Every structure is written in structure tokens, then in C-alpha cells.
Structure 1
Amino acid sequence: MKLPDKGTPSGQLWAFLASVRLTVIVLLSLAVTSIIGTLIPQNETPAWYIDRFGEIWFGVFHTLDLFDMYHSWWFQILMGLLTLNIIICSMDRLALTGKIIFARHPSFRRARFLKRKNRKEVRIERSSTSLRPLYENLLQKEFRYVRTEAHEQGFSVFAESGRKTRLGVYIVHLSVVLLLAGAMIGSFFGFEGYMNVAEGETEDTIQLRNSPGSRKLDLAVRCDDFNVIFYESGAPKEFRSDLVLLRGGREVVKKSIVVNQPLRHGGINIFQSSYGPLPPDARMLEKDGVVLRLISLDSKMEYRKKLKTGKIVDLPEGGGTILLKKALPSFLFMGARDMGETLVLEKRSPDGVVTEIKLPVAFPRFDRMRRNAVFAMGVEGLTQRYYTGLQVTRDPGAPLVYAGFILMIAGCFISFFMHHRQICVDVTSEGEFSRVLVSGISPKDPIGLEKKVEKIAERITRA
């Protein structure tokens, strides 16, 4: 690969983009802006910022996009500049190291090996001619590339392995580029938000997270059923939503989801996030009503009365009247425990004393704790309805991020645990004897290289 001439404008631009100085400046800029993004809360309402900083500073911060800094144009430019810097630096360096990595016939200089500090010398009572095939076979068992070169005093057997491991650092660079590219794609084209879907109902719009806006999906979500299982303490053990995805009114996907088991379709992920009770439909209470079950604490007789919103009903045994006033989505018992959907009744005794009674739908025996009661009351024919809280995300850059993490692990493993090594076994003839020198060259892991040289020297001695 031919790089631009440094004397030309394109060459000067290339040198600037490949400089370490640019890397340092961009990284420091990202660090400083990240601190600003931490000090200034992100994605709050304009009224909140005006109250906190005043109108003047609100205008300044708004112009600089500091309220949604990580999606601002200048932050994306910094990210893009860092990505370009990494690419240019890698290409600039690869233009030089590529001659070593991709050479068909690597270069060996005998003089370099003879001066190495890790060299080991042995004197063997055999001629150099008989040693040549022996040492070639020995090195071929451990190294992929072996070449023999003759010189005036004898010969040298050169061996090499791990030349491609020099690409490890470039794989790490590529992984960082993929991570940055994935983050930028997700920032521009992805979204994250929430929606609440009542049982039996359909929604197609989410409330965006960290933003006052909303987003209409290209499909609709219907909740056919919702179930929640409680521990004895009343804490939720598991909640499950039976969801159907609709496109153009047609069912596309059906799946039951629980926490950490999302529904994924077309790049959209739907997670079970929360839930909440729903009050009874007011029209249903007015039209169909509910059944009130009464047990007389005196006669032990059991009665049932049909209640509708706003309709006064006489109680048995001359116990006065009862009126269904309204339904509450939740009720905190003693200010602590949420009893869920609750009906509010108004009981009027024969002497005109009015008592407000709350009957949680999910706890039919709750009213037995009421003091000075004439009847123990409970609700029948009304099941607790819930809405399911869903987290909806789409991140088209996620595959690049996953690929980046995989490549980073692979690149770090190659860079730290695999090495490029060159070994030289130099044989000099000294009459009936031969002087054998073993040495090696490696850009990394000098201790491991020294052990390798010692190991080869021992095998040569035994051979």
C-alpha cells in the first residue's frame, strides 16, 4: 500500500490524522465532555433546566446541545474523528509492518543472531555436513517456515513461527472501530422506550427514555393475558405477559415473556419490565356491576347482593344500605402494603351512621379484620386486571458491538499470548568438530524466547 507523499497537502493531512497528538487531543476532549455530561443532568425538561440554571445559561447550553450531549453533532464528530484516527494510524503502521507480515520469503540476517544475548553455544564432535539434515528435521517439527543458508564456515538453519500474530494489535484496533461504529449507528438509528399495555388491549406507541417525546412503532403490541404470582409476603415472584405482535392488523409473532426472556422480532426487543393493577372499567361497573358476598356475624347466614355504581342496595337483616361509590387502582393498607385494585363502598346503618369500607379485590377475607362490623364482606365476579410494563428497544448497531467485543478478546489474546519468533541454528565447522550456536529474535516475550532457545540447545546437544 502506497501512502501519500508527506510533502503534498494530502500527505500532510494524512500525517495529521495518523498522529498520536490527535489521538491524545480527541481522547482528552471526550473525557472532558463526559465530565460535563455527568455534571449536567441529561434529557430533563426545559422547565427543569430553566429553574436550575436560569434562562441565559439555558440558552447557552441548549445551543451547545449539552442537554442531550451524547447525541449532539459535535460529540458524534469527536467519535468519528477518533474512529478515523484509529483507521489511519493502523493503515500507516501496517504499510511498514506489512512487509514483514505478508512476505513470502522472510529476511534473515546471520549477523543479528550471532550478537544476541540469549545465544547458546555447544561444541559437538561431528562434522557440519552430517548435522545439516538432522537440525533441519528438528526445527521443521516446531516451526512452519524453515530455511537453510550456507556460508563460508558452515551453514545456518533459520526457522520462524507466529509471523501473523503481529496482526493482533490491528485486530484490537479494528475491534475499537467496530465498537465506535456500532455505538454511533445505535445512537442515530436506535431507540429505547417504554409502553404500558392493559390486558386485552393494543398499543403501538412508546414513550422514549430520557426524552419527552414518543415514537410510533411500525407494529402493534397486544397483551392477551397477564399473570402474576406472589410470595407469601405479598412480593411478586414472577409476572408473565402473553404478547402478540401485529402488523397491518395481522398476527406476526406470539410469545409469553417474563423477566430476562424477551420477545425479539425484526430488530426490536421487548422486555418484561414492570406491571401494575388496573381499576375496573367504570362502564362495566355501571352496567354489569359486581356481586357482594355478605356473611352475618350474628346469624352466620350468607347473602349475595348485586352492586352497581351509584345504586343504593338494602342490606339483609335490616342492616341498613350499601352503595358502590368507585373503584381504586391501588390501596395502601396501613400506608405500607399495596392491596391492588380496591372497591370503595359506603354503608349507612339504620340509625344513619355512614361508614366507608374498602374491599381489595385480590383479598376476599380482608374485611374480616374490620372492627364493629355487622357483616363480613367480599367481592365476587370481579378479577383483578393488570397492565404490563414493557421496555422496547432497537439497536441496529448491536451486531457490530458484539463483533467488536469478540475481536477485542481475540486480538488481546493474540497480542499477549502468541508471539512472532525467529530462531537461528548456526553451525561452524572446526575440523572434526562443529561449533553450534543457537539464538532467537522476538519483538515480545524475551523470557519465553530465552527458554525456547535453551530448549532447542538441549535437543541439539542430545541429538
Structure 2
Amino acid sequence: MTPPKKNSFLSLFASVQLALFLLFLLASTSIIGTLIPQNNPHTFYIEKYGPKTALFFQLLDIPDMYNSWWFLGLLGLFSLNLIVCSLERIPQVIRTLRRDGLTTPPEQLIKFSLHQEITLPVPLKTAHERVAALLKVQGWHARETEKGTGRFFFAEKGGWTRFGVYVVHCSILIILGGALVGSSAVARKLLHNPQFAFKGSIMLPEGESTNHLVAFKSGEHLELGFHLRCDAFAIEYYPNGMPKTYRSRVTVIEKNKPVQTADIEVNQPLTYKGITFYQSSYQPYQNYQVSLKKQATNTETSAIVTTAKQMDWPEGGVSYGIVNRESQGEVTRRLKIWFTDNQGDPSIFWVNINQEAAIERPSGTYSLNIRQLYATGLQVTKDPGVWLVYGGCLLMLIGLYIAFFLSHRKIYVFVQPEANSSRILFAGEANKNKVGFESKFPELINKLEK
């Protein structure tokens, strides 16, 4: 009788070759997503790659590749491959585990690659008891039966480890599911709820607050559900002028009350109500915070100043303004200040940013400090699937440990009488780590001979 013909669809999606091919495609396309900057405005790609290439990128959703229809399709095919492959092979594993080792004919034990025979100068009953006691002490829960004139033992350990590879399959599906749950494209196109999961950005000037972000790609304004205020932005530079480190101090405000204040730095995000804010960029403004103090009266003031604009401080009896600036790119290094107390000629001098200057005037001595204002650039992410991804990664580690370091081991023992002694035949097999099992197999037999 000819065996039933396999379904061609199941055969295709149960094949390891398809899994390897899909993994190769996913790895190759991920390289593209790494090399080509993601989630930038369309004008960026036109300027960098030209209008024709930018149009091609747009058709294939390259600027948002990991949310593109074709990349999600590849993930779907890979998931289907894993599911079909697992469902086809798991019944075979179950049949293997249900196979009763006691049905194995004793004469087949000599054919096992791992076998050893010994003779004990004791009667069958004593040899039987010693074998049973040894297996029990070594943690082998043996079953036994009568075979002819002898006794046949069978014991196994780690049968459940055969499912290790399917634990890995399950973990991959959980990780992919978490990625889909946290995908802004899925939230927008399938769930029709862009607030469920999103990625976007905020450019927030110092001293200002916002309750929304601008979503990547769509440019849609999405509500945060609370206000975020930038209290201060600090930046440090290397001697060559390159940024060394920068951080933002922000405050979360709900119902007009501050509920949390935190510093956001690179690799030190803020997470609030499932929304995570990452420090990603900054933008210098040509606005300056001027702090003035009159030392004689210990009065002080602070104001936001722009260039070519006169500012008055009536309480201090002075007027001042910024008449020129010296910059490196958009970062101001020093400013030229005009300062008067209406007594004598005005003072005109250069002052470095963030460096206090003392101004001697007929009316007294004044302390001046000027700081350039910035807007902090924050990347904003809401990913409800992140815990699924973390759980899947943990499950994968467990599955890989089971699959690579644990094995299903079986031991067969046949005890039969021989004149005034007993002949004992040991045989064993392991589906993995056979070398390790072979090294421990003689130890078990040696303990019986002692």
C-alpha cells in the first residue's frame, strides 16, 4: 500500500530550507534598514539620494522599512513557517516519548553503539536487587518486566528536553508578536488607533511645554495625555567644539500639577505611563537668557533677550542689549554687549557664553551672565509590545539552553542467570551530547561492580 501523498503546501512551509531562505531575506533587508536612515522627511531622501531614488524608496516604504508591508509580510511568512514546522514535528516527538522501552527485544541491546556487558558472581535475585537499587540511587526511575528467564529494566531522563527547539520556535513567535503589537503601522492601519502604539519626536524649547508629539512618517500630531515641560538643557563640548554630552531636565505635568521631574540623557530615557522619551538631538536658538545682579543692593533679574533689542531694568537703573555675536555654526561662543546706567558713556565689551562678567559703572558693580537657549529634541515611543519582546527573549534563552545543553537519555538493562552467576547487559542512548553520556555510562556500571 502506497503511503498517502503529502500536502504540497504543508511540505513547503514545514521545510527547513524555507526557514533558512526567509532568515537570509530578513537579515539582508535589515542591513538596508541599518544603512539607510529611517523616519526622515521625504525632502531628506531627495537631497541625499536624488528624486528618482527617493520616489523608489517611498514606493517600497524604505524610510519606514520595519513597518513596511513587505517586511511585515516576510515576518508573517516566517511565522507561518515556524508554526507549520512545529505542528508537523511535535506529534513525532510525542510518539517517541510514548514509545515503551520495555518492548525492546533484549537481543537488540547488543546492537546499540553504547553497550557493555558484565558478570556478577551472585544469583539472579541478588543481581536484580542490586541493579534496581543502583538505578534508584542514581535518579533513574526504572520500570521492569520479565523477559524469558531474566529481568529487563528501562529508564529514561530528560524526555521533555526534546521540546527545547519548539520552545525556541514559540519564543520567536512571541517576539514577532510583540513587535507587531508595538508597531505604529499596525496601530494605524489595522487597529485604526494611532494612540495605541507610536513613534515620533518633540522639539521642545527651554521653558516651554507641550502635550503632543509629531508622528514619524505621517506627521500627525498625537496627544500625550499630559504635558511635558523642558525646564533646562545643558550641553558640554570637547575642546574642538564637538558636543561631548547633553541632557534635558523635564517635568511631567498633569492637571496643572508637576508629578515627576527627571533628567534625560543619551541611554537614560524617561518612561511615564508607557511612553518613553529618549534624548536624540538639540537645536540652538538665537535667544539668550541674561542674568543681572546689582551687588550693592543685592537685587537681580533675568530675561530672555534677542540681538539688536534694548532691554531695560528699571529697578537696577540700567539698560542693555546684544549688539553682535560670534558663533561656531549655530552655537554662540561670545556676545558683544552694550550696557549703560545713564551715567557716562555706555560700556561696550565682549563676554563669553556661560562666563560671569563684572561690570564697573558709576552707579555700582553689576554681575552679568549669559546663557544660550536650546530646544531639546526627544524621540517619543509608545510600545505596548515591549514586555512581550522581553518575555520572548527570556524564553528563547531557556529554550536554547534546553536545546543545546540538555538531552533525552535512555538506559536498558537485561539481567539473566548464568550457571552460578548473573550476566548483566547495559545499553544506552542519548539524542544529544552523546560524548558526555558515553563518559558517564561506564561510571554507572563500575558502581555496580564495587
Q: Into which bin does the TM-score normalised by the smaller protein fall? A: 0.7 to 0.9
Q: Which digits, 9 at most, give the CA deviation of each residue in 1:349-380, with x for residues without a partner?
A: 9999x985343563223889xxxx99998545
Match of 1:268 in 2: 275
- Structure-1 separation of matches of 2:160 and 2:58: 50
Which structure has greater strand proportion?
A: 2
Q: Tell me, what secondary structure is at the counterpart of 1:396?
A: coil
- Is 1:255 aligned to 2:256, yes or no? no
Q: Which digits, 9 at most, give the CA deviation of each residue in 1:390-448, with x for residues without a partner?
A: 43221122111111110111111111221110011221210211111222111111111
Match of 2:151 in 1: 155
2:351 aligned residue (331, 353, 359):
359
The verdict on how the C-alpha distance between 1:13 and 1:336 changes in structure 2, with shifts beyond 3 A counting, is closer
1:195 aligned residue (197, 202, 221):
202
- Is 1:222 aligned to 2:228, yes or no? yes
Q: Is the 8 A contact 1:343 1:359 kept in 2?
A: yes
TM-superposed deviation, 1:71: 1.7
Gaps of 5+ in 2: 188-196
TM-superposed deviation, 1:20: 2.5
Q: Is the 8 A contact 2:203 2:378 kept in 1?
A: yes
Q: TM-score, normalised by structure 1?
A: 0.74
Q: Tell me, what secondary structure is at the counterpart of 1:119?
A: strand
- Across the two proteins, how many residue pairs are aligned to each other? 425
TM-superposed deviation, 1:305: 12
Q: Is the 8 A contact 1:360 1:366 kept in 2?
A: no
Match of 2:408 in 1: 420
Q: Is the 8 A contact 1:227 1:241 kept in 2?
A: yes
Listed as ranges, the matches of 1:356-435 within 5 Å are 357-360=349-352, 362-365=354-357, 379-380=367-368, 388-435=376-423
Instruction: Supply the AA of the counterpart residue of 2:415.
Output: V
Match of 1:172 in 2: 168
Deviates more, 1:114-123 or 1:182-191: 182-191
TM-superposed deviation, 1:55: 4.5
TM-superposed deviation, 1:275: 6.3
The verdict on how the C-alpha distance between 1:107 and 1:251 changes in structure 2, with shifts beyond 3 A counting, is farther
Instruction: Supply the AA of the counterpart residue of 1:91.
Output: L
Gaps of 5+ in 1: 296-302, 314-321
Identity of aligned residues (%): 29
- Is 1:74 aligned to 2:70, yes or no? yes
Q: Tell me, what secondary structure is at the counterpart of 2:142?
A: strand
2:181 aligned residue (166, 182, 185):
185
Match of 2:16 in 1: 20
TM-superposed deviation, 1:99: 2.1
- Structure-1 separation of matches of 2:286 and 2:154: 83
Match of 1:213 in 2: 219
The verdict on how the C-alpha distance between 1:242 and 1:27 changes in structure 2, with shifts beyond 3 A counting, is closer
- Structure-1 separation of matches of 2:294 and 2:344: 23
- Structure-1 separation of matches of 2:338 and 2:42: 43
TM-superposed deviation, 1:207: 4.0
Instruction: Supply the AA of the counterpart residue of 1:414.
Output: I
- Structure-1 separation of matches of 2:82 and 2:246: 47
TM-superposed deviation, 1:324: 3.1
TM-superposed deviation, 1:452: 2.2
TM-superposed deviation, 1:212: 7.3
Match of 2:192 in 1: none
Match of 2:442 in 1: 454
Q: Is the 8 A contact 2:151 2:416 kept in 1?
A: yes
Supply the RMSD in Å over aligned alpha carbons: 4.6
Q: Is the 8 A contact 2:140 2:157 kept in 1?
A: yes
Deviates more, 1:54-63 or 1:132-141: 54-63
Listed as ranges, the matches of 1:44-83 within 5 Å are 44-51=40-47, 54-83=50-79
Bigger radius of gyration: 1
- Structure-1 separation of matches of 2:441 and 2:302: 95
